[in-house]
């Protein structure tokens, strides 16, 4: 068992003031993986005050962009130097297959490199605003917003931390990061890497703890200027209400229910490959997972058959084993949630094509078979609500879909050969991200604000 008895506050490893801890489990066998210090309200206050001092009186926000960029690049190098160790930790903490974890760690390092470039660009970012009157001069200068609070989920532990930490540091903010209590280990390692890279004390503080206590105290703290949250819609709504009381700057990424549109004259094998990637990568625990597929009726039977065949070939098991493509769900609670969604879908009249239950021989962990549903009623929860598991719903379309007729939260489309990928077949759909001929996203693509969409 790993012992992580400290929080990272003001450049120091400190015990939680309450002395309390929480347990972290390996989802592959439900064994105890780590015992971690649990931040409470007093620890949150200490961390926010440290970040406030670092921002108000410290050097970090006053450094040039090139100087901040140099630190971010050293953080990226520190992540790469420990890539194998961090990937192994991610597998044991989260359950994902090792190749996916290795990709995540490399992407986290790349994220710091990407924002290092943007930080360097800030040195030359002053923009003159034409006023039409030579007696006056106006310009726009970008400045850091202040102290940022980031609350991240468990599906991409280190990568989500990078997505929040790197842009905040690049801008010159100080911040407090609260990782999920299910997967806090790699965020603590990031704190050490950033410290070794020369990040000044107080600029990054990492507080593992329960969302109901540490998370709530953090987003309500008066010393926080900016809140960045990724997680569920209900929690995001509560955070928005709390932020509204003090009119705080806020960014929310609250998941989605992303259809994948397949036209009748599409390449069926390529479409199946991308659907598989989109829904079974990371056990379907992805906010942009292609969890519902809308297929022109002429292609529907063949695509459904090929998708079912390929889904049943997926090897399930411990993410450290060679050849495993689907690991366990992250927790007993998530396993119960996905199981309940499957049962409710069957009760609502959806046709179970394959999967739908834990695989034999892996009962100790929180595993679920790749699951394919067909002919799903459009008003049932299975089609309309995010499941966050390896469950995909496939329905036929009686007519060639047009953007206005597609359901909300469209994120991807597989257009026919006559429609090149660059033509954006999904244009006009109410979605924050749209892809043509793929189902993936990349770190440097912005997402539009689209309430209720992926």
Name the burial class of residue 408, with classes exposed (0-12), middle (13-18) and buried (19+) by CB atoms within 10 angstroms of its CB.
Answer: middle
Give the Cβ contact number of residue 2 at 10 Å: 13
**What is each CA distance from 35 to 44, 113, 126, 262, in whole angstroms?**
19, 32, 48, 46
Phi-psi region of 144 (alpha: psi -120 to 50; beta: other; left: phi over 0): beta
Domain-located, residue 447: no
Query: How do beta strands 31-37 and 21-26 pair?
Result: antiparallel
Domain-located, residue 313: yes
The answer on pLDDT for 418 being more than 50 is no
Pair 432, 449: CB distance under 8 Å = yes
Average pLDDT score, the chain: 90
**pLDDT tens per residue across span 278-324:** 999 999 999 889 999 999 999 999 999 999 999 999 999 999 999 99
The answer on pLDDT for 368 being more than 70 is yes
Last residue of a domain, one of 220, 253, 286: 253
Domain-located, residue 442: no
Q: Is 339 in a helix, a strand, or coil?
A: helix
Domain-located, residue 449: no
Q: Which domain holds residue 400?
A: 259-436
Domain-located, residue 57: yes
Helix and strand element counts for the chain (H, E): 12, 19
The answer on pLDDT for 184 being more than 50 is yes
Are 274 and 412 found together in one domain? Answer: yes
The answer on pLDDT for 437 being more than 60 is no
Are 97 and 236 found together in one domain? Answer: yes
Last residue of a domain, one of 253, 279, 299: 253
Domain-located, residue 450: no
**pLDDT tens per residue across span 32-53:** 999 999 999 999 999 999 999 9
pLDDT attached to residue 428: 54
Pair 294, 383: CB distance under 8 Å = no
Query: How do beta strands 226-230 and 292-296 pair?
Result: unpaired
Are 206 and 84 found together in one domain? Answer: yes
Are 245 and 273 found together in one domain? Answer: no
Are 26 and 55 found together in one domain? Answer: yes
Are 216 and 282 found together in one domain? Answer: no
Are 25 and 141 found together in one domain? Answer: yes
Domain-located, residue 69: yes
Domain-located, residue 200: yes
Phi, psi for 25 (deg, rounded to 5) = -115, 150
pLDDT attached to residue 256: 84
pLDDT band at 131 (very low <50, low <70, confident <90, very high): confident
DSSP-derived secondary structure for 98-143: HHHHHHHHHHHHHHHHHHHHHHHHGGG--EEE--S-TT--EEE---
Question: 246-258 burial, b for 16+ CB within 10 Å, e for fewer?
Answer: eebebebbbbbbb
Are 312 and 184 found together in one domain? Answer: no
pLDDT attached to residue 163: 97
DSSP bridge pairs for 292: 259, 393
Are 363 and 224 found together in one domain? Answer: no
When pLDDT is averaged across residues 184-189 and rounded to a whole number, the result is 98
The answer on pLDDT for 55 being more than 70 is yes
Residue 175 sits in a domain whose CATH number is 3.40.605.10
Are 343 and 265 found together in one domain? Answer: yes
Task: Give the separation between CA 432 and CA 362, rounded to whole angstroms.
Answer: 37
Q: Half-sphere exposure of residue 3, counting CA atoms within 13 Å on the CB side?
A: 2
Least confident of 187-201, 299-313, 388-402: 388-402
Two structure tokens written together for 237: 């709504």
First to last CA, the chain: 38
Q: Which of 100, 213, 253, 386 is catalytic?
A: 253
When pLDDT is averaged across residues 8-24 and rounded to a whole number, the result is 97
pLDDT band at 420 (very low <50, low <70, confident <90, very high): very low
Last residue of a domain, one of 212, 236, 253: 253
The answer on pLDDT for 92 being more than 70 is yes
pLDDT attached to residue 127: 82
Domain count, the chain: 2
The answer on pLDDT for 416 being more than 50 is no
Are 51 and 90 found together in one domain? Answer: yes
> 420: Cβ–Cβ under 8 A, 6 or more apart, which residues?
none
When pLDDT is averaged across residues 131-141 and rounded to a whole number, the result is 88
Residue 402 sits in a domain whose CATH number is 3.40.309.10
253 is catalytic: yes
Are 202 and 335 found together in one domain? Answer: no
The answer on pLDDT for 372 being more than 80 is yes
The answer on pLDDT for 408 being more than 70 is no
């Amino acid at each position: 068992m790993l012992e992580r008895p400290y929080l990272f506050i003001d450049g120091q490893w400190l015990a939680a003031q309450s002395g309390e801890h929480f347990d972290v489990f390996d989802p592959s066998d439900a064994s105890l993986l780590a015992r971690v210090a649990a931040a409470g309200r007093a620890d949150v206050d200490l961390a926010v005050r440290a970040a406030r001092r670092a921002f108000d009186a410290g050097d970090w926000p006053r450094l040039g962009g090139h100087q901040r960029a140099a630190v971010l690049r050293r953080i990226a190098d520190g992540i790469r130097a420990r890539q194998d160790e961090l990937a192994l930790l991610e597998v044991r903490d989260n359950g994902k297959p090792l190749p996916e974890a290795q990709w995540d760690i490399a992407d986290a390092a790349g994220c710091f490199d990407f924002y290092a470039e943007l930080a360097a660009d800030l040195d030359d970012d002053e923009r003159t605003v034409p006023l039409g009157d030579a007696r006056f001069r106006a310009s726009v200068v970008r400045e850091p917003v202040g102290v940022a609070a980031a609350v991240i989920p468990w599906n991409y532990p280190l990568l989500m931390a990078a997505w929040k930490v790197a842009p905040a540091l690049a801008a010159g903010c100080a911040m407090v990061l609260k990782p999920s209590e299910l997967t806090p280990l790699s965020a603590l390692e990031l704190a050490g890497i950033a410290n070794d890279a020369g990040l000044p004390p107080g600029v990054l503080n990492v507080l593992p703890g329960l969302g109901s206590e540490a998370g709530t105290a953090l987003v309500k703290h008066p010393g926080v200027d900016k809140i960045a949250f990724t997680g569920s819609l209900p929690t995001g709504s509560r955070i928005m209400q709390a932020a509204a009381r003090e009119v705080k700057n806020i960014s929310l990424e609250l998941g989605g229910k992303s259809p994948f549109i397949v036209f009748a004259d599409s390449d069926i094998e390529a479409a199946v490959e991308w659907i598989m990637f989109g829904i079974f990568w990371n056990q379907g625990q992805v906010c942009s997972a292609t969890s519902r597929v809308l297929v022109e009726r002429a292609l529907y039977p063949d695509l459904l058959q090929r998708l079912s065949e390929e889904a049943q070939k997926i090897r399930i098991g411990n993410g450290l084993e060679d050849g495993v493509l689907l690991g366990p769900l992250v927790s007993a609670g998530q396993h119960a949630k996905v199981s309940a969604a499957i049962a409710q879908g069957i009760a609502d009249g959806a046709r179970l094509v394959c999967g739908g239950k834990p695989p034999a021989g892996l009962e100790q962990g929180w595993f679920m078979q790749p699951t394919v549903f067909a002919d799903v009623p459009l008003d049932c929860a299975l089609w309309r609500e995010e499941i966050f598991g390896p469950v995909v719903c496939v329905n036929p379309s009686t007519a060639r879909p047009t953007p206005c007729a597609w359901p909300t939260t469209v994120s991807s489309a597989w257009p026919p050969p006559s429609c090149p990928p660059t033509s954006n077949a999904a244009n006009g759909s109410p979605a924050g991200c749209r892809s043509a001929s793929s189902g993936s996203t990349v770190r440097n693509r912005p997402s539009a604000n689209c309430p209720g969409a992926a």
